[in-house]
Structure 1
């Protein structure tokens, strides 16, 4: 590290026998940009790369063979993978939204979406994202497979104490928009309801303090408790009347799956992407128009007045469905297994 800026300026990498095989040099300035990467063979300088992507491409060209099936779920690796010389079967996996806040394509996804001729299959989690991609690209629909996350069955514990409360479990972060939950909950209480609210999660960048200040402003101190990270989210879901999700965006919404899987219905904003694929509106939860706090309040009231019965996971999100989906994917690319 630099004695002045305290930024990293030099890195060395050694194999298990103590032999150096790579070094990296960085600029000693605010950007701390990479200057070069030097690889070594038998203790002597071998190849030099200006960028990590050049190194990645070199590695791929030496690691892969013709017709290898390669799953790539990191957009940083798209360019070196798609530009390497071997004719591999490239399957690009999207775990989150390809869109910016203004609904244009995120720069990190452009390499993937603008070079479909180099991609064997795109693997997405939701039909809605597929529709959005087809609306702005010329990608062949047959090149896009939908395989949602799956969840294993969970045996609910019969002796769990049922509490009259809503619950939020997730990162206490700005994009989670937990303040929307507080405003909706405030309106909920003004209608004469007494159901409590519990919040579980790690604080990020001082967001918890902002929530605490809003709770004080709305005079909700006696109705809400904020807890730290929980090691047993399934138990907390199972104790609750319903869980709440008001994110501005989601990759898929694993907490929504976990909640429903133990019989706790979910009231969630219908954001890109995930909730609409997991929640069967009116059966295992409710989908709410994004950022519509009054509608969120409406469904909070409804779920207390008319609790949903027999809340369970949709068949499409089971392990058996996932196995069948992957079999179809491998059959479609003519992979022998």
Structure 2
């Protein structure tokens, strides 16, 4: 009987037509592949809320030969709830047109645009209120909203009630979105949810950086925070306002984001997306017990360790000894030095202005007081650069030795002979380098420290901050998703946008042995799925 491949990109058709079909007929000759274009969640931002009415078929992932989603985040959410059966493929939309880049000087200073239908889920009312606050700080700022819909009258009334007629306009739907984006300095997105948000691609392909709520799904797959735009907490109005003001008022920043926006969309070219489709067609009908394809990575090292601690030969590698910035995996070494210093974990550390570092885990301010133990959690879970600098300074003062010298001595002692460290945070700095092999050695050394193991096993923690701004903050591990897998025992991510997205993992194999895995991928989300695929690959290929 001839095989029939059925790709279904309409959820209603999937629910009402395909699923009720005779199950035996489907198994006999029909290979069914649903394509998910929207958020599958009942509560669009809560992964524990269950499936929306049109997506109940996704609870039966094993009944499909494959499922196609548009982003890694949606794939991760599905597998975290319904299990990873190896049949979900991520294939994003492609950019089908690249406008000719325009000189930044031709963009209208202070001009923001938003393009979407005028319906509740797009959040235009909130956008207008937030932008009115931007205008209070930047009187020259303007916002043009292009679209049509039932809310047009209400939105115009809101603009008038805020006395924003000279700054915010509702304009008719436009077919020439690239022209509008090429004129603007920034674009805005305040949707409650999306499936992919093609408007993000259109904006960035036009060199117009976007500031968007970090929602499910879409924006985080294209916007690289601080590189071609900004992602803000959807529950934090001030965060959104500040990023808009910062971008529009800082010409150098705006121009840099614009230039990066153009180049960042090349990975969504038709040629690149066609490779995703080719991979899908080549692999979607394979049996799940076959060895998966080893993912294409920037660098890879898989180093097994016997139960007695003996390090075995490398199982898989790519650019094993090639110099690479360690990024925030550096913080593992910083933690080791601190824990071996003898400083009590309940020691209170006071944050100085000189300790403040931008970047990840930016939740501390000068004057804050935090224990060494909590600073280590803050350093290793949300990857606080300020905590790393604080710990390094205080430990150095406590033991009376140079912290950087201690880092390099420790690195040499555990065999990291091709590594050099010049700061405790992992922030980009000339001379800070390691190799994939050396970093797996660091992972093995850290796995022997009980305090680091305890931190690695933690996904969320509440920290008490003392000082004038006394408060409690909740932190979440950047590797929270990997904790859904029993084989993942901990590790550390590292990011230097836009080139390096590392994960260093300590993994337990089914035979009781362990392995340190370093992977450097091409995006923040991809590094998680690459780690999962590598683990599957190793267990299928090297099963004893």
Q: Which has the higher helix share?
A: 2
Partner of 1:97: 39
Residue deviations 1:114-147 (CA, integer Å, cap 9, x gap):
333320001010111111111221341x111111
1:323 partnered with 2:274? yes
Q: Is the 8 A contact 1:265 1:308 kept in 2?
A: no
Deviations 1:82-116 (A, max 9, x none): 434142111110000100126321122112x2333
| Structure 1 position 278, deviation (Å) | 0.8
Match of 1:277 among 213, 217, 221: 221
**Contact 2:194-2:216 within 8 A present in 1 as well:** yes
Q: TM-score, normalised by structure 1?
A: 0.74
**Contact preservation (8 Å) 2:70, 2:91:** yes
Distance 1:232 1:109, change over 3 A: same
Structure 1 residue matching 2:169: 3-state secondary structure: strand
8 Å CA contact retained: 2:71, 2:221: yes
How far residue 73 of structure 1 moved from its aligned partner, in angstroms, is 1.2
Give the counterpart of 1:232 among 161, 173, 176.
176
- Name the CA distance, whole Å, in 1 between partners of 2:107 and 2:61: 51
Q: 1:198 — aligned with what?
A: 144
1:288 to 2:288 alignment: no
Q: Is the 8 A contact 1:288 1:296 kept in 2?
A: yes
Describe the SS at the equivalent of 1:283.
coil
Does structure 1 residue 221 correspond to structure 2 residue 165?
Answer: yes
Residue 127 of structure 2: aligned partner: 181
Q: Is 2:251 the counterpart of 1:251?
A: no
| Rounded Cα–Cα distance in structure 2 between residues aligned with 1:167 and 1:192 | 16
In the other structure, the counterpart of 1:71 is 7
Q: Distance in 2 between matches of 1:244 and 1:274?
A: 14
CA–CA distance in 2 between the matches of 1:192 and 1:322?
40
1:243-294, Cα deviation, whole Å (9 max, x unpaired) = 1000001110101100100101100111110000011111111101114221
Residue 128 (structure 1) aligned with residue 73 (structure 2): yes
Q: Taking structure 1 as reference, are residues 314 and 261 closer, same or farther at Cα in structure 2, changes over 3 Å only?
A: closer
C-alpha contact 2:115 2:147 (8 A) present in aligned 1: yes
Higher mean alpha-carbon deviation, 263-272 vs 99-108, is at 99-108
Q: Distance in 2 between matches of 1:114 and 1:139?
A: 12
* Distance change >3 Å, CA 315–CA 74, structure 1 → 2: same
Structure 1, unpaired ranges of 5+: 1-64
- Paired residue for 1:263? 207
Match of 1:151 among 59, 78, 95: 95
> TM-score when scaled to structure 2?
0.47
Please say if residues 102 and 182 of structure 2, whose CA atoms lie closer than 8 Å, have aligned partners that are also in contact: no
Counterpart for residue 438 of structure 2: none
Q: Could you tell me whether the CA contact under 8 Å between 2:144 and 2:169 is conserved in 1? A: yes
Asked if structure 2 preserves the Cα contact closer than 8 Å seen for 1:284 and 1:308, the reply is: no
1:210 Cα deviation after fit: 1.4
SS at match of 1:114: helix
Q: Do 2:35 and 2:67's aligned partners in 1 also have CA atoms closer than 8 Å?
A: yes
Q: C-alpha separation between the residues in 2 aligned to 1:293 and 1:114? A: 35
Aligned to 2:59: 114
Unaligned runs of 5+ in 2: 287-544
Do 2:36 and 2:69's aligned partners in 1 also have CA atoms closer than 8 Å? yes
Secondary structure of the structure 1 residue equivalent to 2:215: coil
The 2-side partners of 1:157 and 1:126 are apart by 27
The residue that corresponds to 1:167 in the other structure is 113
The question of whether the paired residues in 2 share the 8 Å contact of 1:267 and 1:299 is answered with yes
Name which of structure 1's ranges 240-249 and 152-161 shifts more when overlaid on structure 2: 152-161
